[in-house]
Amino acid sequence: MLCTLSPPAAQIISIDLPWGRFGGGYPLRKIPLYRRFPRFGQRLHLIRADSHAAETKQRVLRILSGEPLDFLFLDGDHTYEGVRSDFEMYAPLVRSGGIVAFHDIAEHKREKDCGVDRFWSETKQRYRHREIIADPTQGWAGIGVLFMP
């Protein structure tokens, strides 16, 4: 989807943890399929690693070569500590006027360790934001968008 919506010169970076607790990543056999997604000279970087690891962030910084991110989509470790860590590590890489989006901002009653809703509730107060959610009591999902100052 990001390749389809991004401009021709876009650089898209995906960090996905194989066998992660909240989603499980993608199998190696799908990489050739994903490599066909970029269009018009776009560059797609598929990083299979722990987003919380310092070496993963260093890898992202090398790819960016000093350029800021326009858009950051957080949909990884759904624990409160995990989403906070991802936000603290990667949101500073987003340019002024850029966007940080979160998946699963609605309270997730079935998954007790899911803390995205709590982190979202605390964090959104400090930013201009938008919630895309049908019903706050739906039990999961929803997108939260922060507009970076």
Count how many domains the chain has: 2
User: Average pLDDT of the chain?
Assistant: 91
Assigned domain for 63 exists: no
- In this structure, the answer to whether residues 74 and 130 fall within a common structural domain is yes
Report how far Cα 141 is from the mean position of its chain's Cα atoms.
14
Range of the domain at 30: 1-58
Contact by Cβ (8 Å): 52, 77 = yes
What's the confidence (pLDDT) of residue 20?
Answer: 66
Whether residue 88 lies inside any domain: the answer is: yes
In 23-113, which residue ranges form alpha helices assigned H by DSSP?
31-34, 54-64, 80-90
pLDDT in tens, 72-100: 999 888 899 999 999 999 999 999 999 99
Average pLDDT over residues 127-142: 89
CATH of the domain at 93: 3.40.50.150
The yes-or-no verdict on residue 49 having pLDDT over 70 is: yes
Confidence of residue 25 (pLDDT cuts 50, 70, 90): confident
44-48 mean pLDDT: 95
Q: How far is CA 77 from CA 6, 38, 100, 104, in A?
A: 25, 26, 16, 11
- Regarding whether 123 and 77 lie in a shared domain, the answer is yes
Rg (CA), the chain: 15
Q: What percent of the chain has pLDDT over 90?
A: 73
